[in-house]
């Protein structure tokens, strides 16, 4: 499924910690397929880069940054797949040692796979990973001009807690959202 539709965007920032087994979280999908979310490995780098390029016009994460996050104790890179196992979406969660706050840095679905619940499953899996790491709250920033992502977060119970003027490189504002993980 080649990514053909160009960028909408939004991005989130920051970090946290700890280890859980790299297991797989299997969740029912609205469609006939099952969406599987698992921790990413080096073999997912090409797919991660493809999602990145198809989803973000600026502030893209580079391959080397992904490699670093894959090896980090304080990051969780998650990928969602369905059917034959093709990676359809990704999420990056940052953890901070000794903090109850986790940060969702990135969430994206390949354009051709959007609107099927992939991001919703990734968000749930990121929350689960945060809980396993000891987090009690999940925070994120989203571009104020990204209604799809804002809708997704609000639908999942995230509350708007702040406004960050000119947060992004192109001057776009961010809304800060947070949700309790309990
Ligand atoms: C935002 C994004 C991650 C959503 O991914 P997704 O897999 O399509 O999301 P889901 O299928 O889980 O849908 C989430 C909600 O948004 C709705 N939605 C999805 N695409 C939509 C569209 N193009 N227009 C309007 N609503 C849309 C879905 O219908 C769903 O709401 P519903 O349950 O009330 O129907 C995806 O559009 C994307 O990757 N965008 C580019 C990167 C980005 O902006 N990331 C956000 C980072 S903060």
Task: Give me the residues paired with residue 16 across strands.
Answer: 95, 96
Give me the pLDDT at residue 53, please: 97
Which CATH code of 3.40.630.30, 2.40.50.140, 3.30.1960.10, 3.90.1150.10 fits the domain covering 24-180?
Answer: 3.40.630.30
Q: What is each CA distance from 75 to 71, 94, 119, 126, in whole angstroms?
A: 8, 5, 18, 11
Q: Is the CB of 90 under 6 A from ligand 1?
A: no
> Helices 45-55 and 63-71 meet at what angle, rounded to 10?
130
Residue 26 C-alpha from the chain's centroid: 17
Token digits for 65? 């940054």
Q: Is the CB of 146 under 6 A from ligand 1?
A: yes
Distance 97 CA to ligand 1 centre (A): 31
Give 84-126 pLDDT, tens digit per residue.
889 999 999 999 988 999 999 999 999 999 999 999 999 999 9
Q: Is the CB of 109 under 6 A from ligand 1?
A: yes
pTM: 0.86
Q: Is the CB of 10 under 6 A from ligand 1?
A: yes
| Domain extents in the chain | 24-180
Instruction: Quote the CA–CA distance of 147 and 80 in Å, as a whole number.
Output: 22
């Amino acid at each position: 499924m080649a990514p053909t539709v160009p960028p909408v965007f939004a991005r989130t920032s920051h970090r946290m910690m700890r280890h859980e087994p790299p297991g797989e979280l299997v969740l029912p999908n609205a469609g006939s397929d099952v969406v599987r979310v698992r921790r990413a490995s080096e073999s997912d780098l090409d797919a991660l880069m493809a999602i990145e390029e198809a989803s973000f016009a600026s502030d893209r994460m580079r391959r080397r940054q992904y490699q670093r996050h894959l090896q980090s104790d304080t990051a969780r890179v998650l990928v969602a797949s369905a059917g034959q196992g093709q990676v359809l979406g990704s999420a990056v969660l940052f953890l901070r040692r000794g903090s109850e706050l986790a940060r969702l840095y990135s969430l994206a679905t390949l354009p051709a796979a959007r609107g099927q619940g992939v991001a919703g499953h990734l968000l749930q899996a990121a929350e689960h990973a945060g809980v396993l790491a000891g987090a009690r709250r999940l925070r994120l920033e989203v571009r104020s001009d990204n209604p799809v992502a804002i809708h997704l977060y609000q639908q999942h119970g995230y509350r708007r807690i702040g406004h960050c003027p000119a947060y992004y490189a192109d001057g776009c504002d961010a809304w800060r959202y947070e949700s309790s993980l309990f």
